Amino acid sequence: MRLAGFTTSSIVDGPGVRVTVFCQGCPLRCPGCHNPSTHAVDGGREVGVGELVDVIEHERLASGLTLSGGEPTVQAADCAVLARAARGRGWSVWCYSGYTWQVLVRRAARDPGLAELLLLVDVMVAGPYVRARRTLSLPWRGSANQVLVDVPASLGSGEERRLDV
């Protein structure tokens, strides 16, 4: 798996203390992105997925996993392995994507790794970062167009269901 890095003690990438994995590579390259160093697909470093699963399994303070980036859905199958390990610990799983929910669902219809990942995610922070809509007042988002998608409710209903936070 290609990573920009990870942390075991994030308190800004979802509720509680979280392990946050910053995936390397993003085809969207949103202007003003706060992680532009994650855009290049050949940047970062290769890390075995098993190594990250070990981090999750041995972490004592965290109660959740956040997949960030770059664009985690570009490495969806590997991210699904991490999400499954987190779920095995009883953790919540959040994922940040620059794609809208509708685009993610269409992509998942053609990508089994992404389909599996969506089944394991609790909340998807969806939508591109838009510099003109930058906000510091909405939790867990950088721009006002980004939404918190309740993934299980959305998959169950066939319609995007948002969390009001």
Structure confidence at residue 81 (pLDDT):
98
pTM of the model: 0.96
Task: Give the residue-averaged pLDDT of 125-152.
Answer: 96
With 90 as the cut, is the pLDDT of residue 58 above it? yes
Residues 69-101 pLDDT 10s = 999 999 999 999 999 999 999 999 999 999 999
User: Is 134 a domain residue?
Assistant: yes
User: Is 163 a domain residue?
Assistant: no
User: Is 100 a domain residue?
Assistant: yes
User: Is 89 a domain residue?
Assistant: yes
Residues 116-134 pLDDT 10s = 999 999 999 999 999 999 9
Question: What residues contact 23, with CB distance under 8 A and at least 6 apart?
Answer: 1, 2, 3, 4, 38, 67, 68, 69, 70, 71, 72, 74, 75, 79
Q: How many other C-beta atoms lie within 10 A of the C-beta of residue 128?
A: 18
Structure confidence at residue 165 (pLDDT):
83
User: Is 164 a domain residue?
Assistant: no
Q: What percent of the chain has pLDDT over 70?
A: 100
Structure confidence at residue 109 (pLDDT):
97
Q: Residues, the chain, total?
A: 165
With 90 as the cut, is the pLDDT of residue 13 above it? yes
Domain around 9: 2-157
Number of domains the chain contains: 1
User: Is 124 a domain residue?
Assistant: yes
Task: Give the residue-averaged pLDDT of 45-64.
Answer: 96
- The C-alpha R_g of the chain, in whole angstroms, comes to 15
Q: Give, in order, the Cα–Cα distances in Å from 93 to each of 33, 44, 96, 103, 135.
A: 22, 23, 10, 20, 24
Backbone dihedral region for residue 16 (phi beyond 0: left; psi -120 to 50: alpha; all else: beta): left
Question: Token pair for residue 124?
Answer: 């998807």
With 90 as the cut, is the pLDDT of residue 159 above it? yes
Q: Give, in order, the Cα–Cα distances in Å from 150 to each of 3, 7, 126.
A: 26, 24, 10
CATH classification of the domain holding 147:
3.20.20.70
b/e code 57-81 from CB counts within 10 Å (16+ = b): eebeebbbbbbbbbbbbbbbebbbb
Confidence of residue 34 (pLDDT cuts 50, 70, 90): confident
User: Is 145 a domain residue?
Assistant: yes
